[in-house]
Structure 1
Amino acid sequence: MKKLIGAALAVTGALLLELGLIVLLVIDGNASAVGADGGQGLKGVPVEFRPWIFKADAACPEPEMTPALLASQLWTESKFKTTREEATSGAGAQGPAQFIPGTWATWGRDEDGNGQSSPWDIGDAVMAQGRMMCSLLKQAKSSGYGGDPRGLALAGYNAGWGSVERFHGVPPKSFANGETYGYVQDILNDLPRFQGAGLLEVSGSGSAADALRRAAARAGTPYSWGGGGPDGPSTGFCDGTNGYLNGRCSASVTSGFDCSSLVQYAYWPSIKLPRVASEQYGATSDRAVSRDNLQPGDLLFWSHGGSASIYHVAMYAGDGNVLHAPRTGRVVELQPLSEAMPARDFFAATRP
């Protein structure tokens, strides 16, 4: 399941005819549901952290790694703070995952595609946290030391693996004034506060529910202009206007979806929608629905003026939220419908 999510779990008004998608997913607490996070569940986490936590979890094959473990660790490290004033420790640890520069040099990468590897960037920090914890979990399980491998890994993250080797386990309360011991206990004890319903749950059956479920499994996938298709994420391209980040062509080196390719992927092969948003509208416009009568799986379109200028498409599923690929530099993520696109640009809704 982690591999499935990992392969899965990224438009501004100035973009012209952007290939686009937003996916809205219904949550039905009374029905059998499959979560986009593989059933692990996560609650009490800021929305900007969620896709990266799921992605970091999915990238680690160790079963002890869970979204809640990463979330609880981030809470203990920084309370999800991201400013230099609030997330800099007296020892020089930086960012929401509290990396010291030397450790960041080993684990840090430019995960969000903004042109720099920074412990202050949420995506970069959480993915580095996940890589380091995944490596430590492997060490813990092969070490032969007793105790919960999660505790051993957390101790290694806090005090260095050498400290774990010194004590053949989690350092005792007598070590470092009990800092590492308390760190491990706090994170493991706080796990329940972060365990909960998944980011997205899709109930029911049929082509619309299947499409929503298929798209939900791609939460956390990077946005890539022109990338993606029926077979999944792929690198995209830059066209002189779109696909750039900080002056560089991000799409050509980023494997992901843009908004309309995610819609196409979601419905394929039961409904073979065209590739771009305006064509998807053309293929479904004979089945228009009013915004007051939307049903799960309906497509929503935004335009700068008329059907020829459609720049974004969405799958509706209720509950006032969308899962979408907003723009270059972001990932497929959850947002309220009211915040996803400018309200004045809403154009039409159709039913595939």
Structure 2
Amino acid sequence: MKVLTGVAGAVIGLVTLALLTVMGVVISDDAASATESTTGGGLRGVPTEFSKWILKADDACKEPEMTPALLAAQLWQENGFKTTKKGSTSSAGAQGPAQFLPSTFATWGRDDDSNGETSLWDVGDAVMAQGRMMCSLLKDAKASGYPGDVRSLALAGYNAGWNKVVQYRGIPPYKETTNYVQVILSTMARYRGPSLLQVSGAGAGADALRKASGRIGTPYSWGGGGPTRPTKGFCDDTNGYLNGQCVASSTVGFDCSSLVQYAYWPKTQLPRTAAAQYGATSDHPVSRSALKPGDLLFWSHGGSSRIYHVAMYAGDGNVLQAPRTGRNVGVAPLTSAMPERDYYGATRP
């Protein structure tokens, strides 16, 4: 994809993120995390005709590194959200809102807007194709083991071609590509809207809920996740499967209790499983009428030894939870988050 050099001024004064090595170029993890520290969240500063497709493309990708802000910043860098044919054709032959070469679009394009035509000029078709390609590149970046942030590697693959990333075992040392990666990572904050869950107040519970809300959109992964980050999970005899296939072992995410553990860590170091978390906090029970943000809610098939789910109270009768395989971390009404008959009680860590 052709980089618009006109936006290069956006990085004037920024510390250079590219570290040239004999194996290519590495964008440091610290630099990347400084511009994108959470997963999920809202979207702002994007034309209406783009926003719904960006959110849809993000939702379709189960890689936690994918965010609406990443896609939006990439679209701006590619073509400045332009849609006209005159303004959306580069000297290299890239076309449309996401600047696809026709040959590349043939691989990733679909009739996503259902208008009877698959076209790289249609905003919906182009953005969804961008999302599919970026999602695939994020997977390739993770599997590669190359140094650097996986988003940086994926963006380099989008710009220069994944074969060049493989050749250099990292980001190719091309000025256009390194600039492309730097500008996108440094401008993501411009498009990141408020969190999908607004948390007010202070204290351990509110702080934990605020931290967990940054993981909205992260996939559920049975056995996955820990106190510091989402990880791949595993399948046992009954859990971790979707449509008969084990998906947990290839899904980076959280399950219900690891999300709670992550939220409170390290100030309050809760154990790993829902039942153990109840045992560690049951000496501070909370009635349903006295719930505060961050309180833990439990569901059971009968007794404390059969607790199977934990969620965090999010206020206004809602909970924040990692619900089940095939779903993402999100907000749901307390009354329907899990079967009402299974509700066991609440505690305050």
Paired position in structure 2 for 1:271: 268
State the 1:5 CA deviation.
8.6
Paired position in structure 2 for 1:37: 41
Match of 1:98 among 125, 141, 159: 125
Match of 1:275, SS? coil
State the 1:263 CA deviation.
0.3
Does the CA-based 8 Å contact 2:294-2:314 persist in structure 1? Answer: yes
Contiguous gaps of at least 5 residues in structure 2 = 1-30, 83-96, 98-109, 140-150, 161-174, 178-182, 185-190
Paired position in structure 1 for 2:248: 251
State the 1:302 CA deviation.
0.8
Match of 1:220 among 195, 200, 217: 217
Paired position in structure 2 for 1:317: 314
Amino acid at match of 2:117: A
Counterparts of residues 107-126 of structure 1 (less than 5 Å) = 109=136
Amino acid at match of 1:267: Y
CA distance in 2, matches of 1:89, 1:107: 24
Paired position in structure 1 for 2:341: 344
CA distance in 2, matches of 1:203, 1:50: 30
Inter-CA distance 41–2: structure 2 relative to 1 (3 Å threshold): farther
State the 1:244 CA deviation.
1.4
Paired position in structure 1 for 2:143: none
Does the CA-based 8 Å contact 1:5-1:38 persist in structure 2? Answer: no
Query: Identity of aligned pairs, percent?
Result: 50
State the 1:248 CA deviation.
2.3
Match of 1:347, SS? strand
CA distance in 1, matches of 2:45, 2:254: 24
Inter-CA distance 63–295: structure 2 relative to 1 (3 Å threshold): same
State yes or no: 1:57 paired with 2:84: no
CA distance in 1, matches of 2:244, 2:192: 40
CA distance in 1, matches of 2:56, 2:113: 15
CA distance in 2, matches of 1:56, 1:249: 22
Match of 1:98, SS? helix
Does the CA-based 8 Å contact 2:196-2:213 persist in structure 1? Answer: no
CA distance in 1, matches of 2:274, 2:283: 15
Cα deviation 1:226-247 (Å, max 9, x = unaligned)? 1111121111111111011232
Inter-CA distance 294–56: structure 2 relative to 1 (3 Å threshold): same
Match of 1:89 among 97, 111, 115: 115
Does the CA-based 8 Å contact 2:58-2:131 persist in structure 1? Answer: no
CA distance in 2, matches of 1:284, 1:98: 49
Match of 2:199, SS? strand
State the 1:257 CA deviation.
0.6
State the 1:3 CA deviation.
3.7
Inter-CA distance 213–108: structure 2 relative to 1 (3 Å threshold): closer
Amino acid at match of 1:316: Y
State yes or no: 1:284 paired with 2:281: yes
Does the CA-based 8 Å contact 2:223-2:255 persist in structure 1? Answer: yes
CA distance in 1, matches of 2:193, 2:201: 21
Amino acid at match of 1:37: G
CA distance in 2, matches of 1:85, 1:50: 13
CA distance in 1, matches of 2:43, 2:340: 33
Paired position in structure 2 for 1:186: none
CA distance in 2, matches of 1:289, 1:263: 17
Counterparts of residues 286-305 of structure 1 (less than 5 Å) = 286-305=283-302
CA distance in 1, matches of 2:234, 2:68: 26
Which has the higher relative contact order, 1 or 2, with Cα contacts under 8 A spaced 6 or more apart? 1
Which TM-score applies when normalising by structure 2?
0.56
CA distance in 2, matches of 1:233, 1:219: 12
Contiguous gaps of at least 5 residues in structure 1 = 10-35, 78-83, 113-126, 144-148, 151-193
CA distance in 2, matches of 1:299, 1:310: 12
- Aligned-residue CA RMSD (Å): 5.0
CA distance in 2, matches of 1:211, 1:103: 34
CA distance in 2, matches of 1:311, 1:86: 38
CA distance in 2, matches of 1:305, 1:41: 49
State the 1:103 CA deviation.
8.1
Cα deviation 1:192-214 (Å, max 9, x = unaligned)? xx997531122222211221121
Cα deviation 1:107-148 (Å, max 9, x = unaligned)? 664999xxxxxxxxxxxxxx9xx979x859xxxx969xxxxx
CA distance in 2, matches of 1:294, 1:245: 33
CA distance in 2, matches of 1:308, 1:41: 49
State the 1:91 CA deviation.
1.5
Inter-CA distance 100–281: structure 2 relative to 1 (3 Å threshold): closer
Q: Count residues in correspondence.
A: 250
State yes or no: 1:209 paired with 2:206: yes
Inter-CA distance 105–57: structure 2 relative to 1 (3 Å threshold): closer
Inter-CA distance 254–195: structure 2 relative to 1 (3 Å threshold): closer
Amino acid at match of 2:301: H
